[in-house]
Amino acid sequence: MAVQKGTRSKASQTPTLRVGDEAPDFELPSHLGGTFKLSALRGQKHVVIAFYPAAFTPVCSAQVPEYEALKLRFESLNAQVVGISVDSTFSNQAWAQALGGITYPLLSDFWPHGEVARRYGVLIEDKGIAERAVFVIDKQGKIAYIDVHEIGEQPDPEPVFAVLRQLG
């Protein structure tokens, strides 16, 4: 299956969040060990949250390594990337290894199942997976960007970089 890069969002808000809202805080286990807490980076870094539907799927297996390849570019804009799925930590660990190693946190929203995705308005309840969605959270904890894409379409990272440049 060929992965298509998408340039058009299907939504720039969710049923629960809009640009300018306070980002819901969360703490989730990482495939790197330990946990990641969003508010721990407040005042220090912008955070790019990439919700992905499921490990070991074609589009996710293109998107996640692309962010790894762009890691230095994100860092140059003072941004930390994190991926979030409803997969278990063990699944994310195995998948990261199969992809050749992912050095940014892949977070498990496994239990309570999809609770963070639900709070961000991107849980597809009847399928039990997250939408493919990207959020940029500024250093103050406010949502600066929302991009919800079709499941089968890989988001273009360039609009994220444009937002990060504006945030400074």
What SS3 state is found at 149? Answer: strand
- The residues, ordered by sequence, that sit 6+ positions from 134 with a Cβ below 8 Å of its Cβ are 48, 49, 50, 51, 145, 146, 147, 149, 155, 160
Annotated catalytic, 84? no
Cβ atoms of residues 5 and 160 within 8 Å: no
What beta strand segments (E) does 16-151 contain? 27-29, 35-37, 46-51, 79-85, 106-108, 123-124, 129-130, 132-137, 143-149
Which one of 17, 38, 48, 60 is the catalytic residue? Answer: 60
DSSP 128: T
Give the number of other Cβ atoms within 10 Å of residue 84's Cβ: 26
By annotation, the residues acting in catalysis are: 60
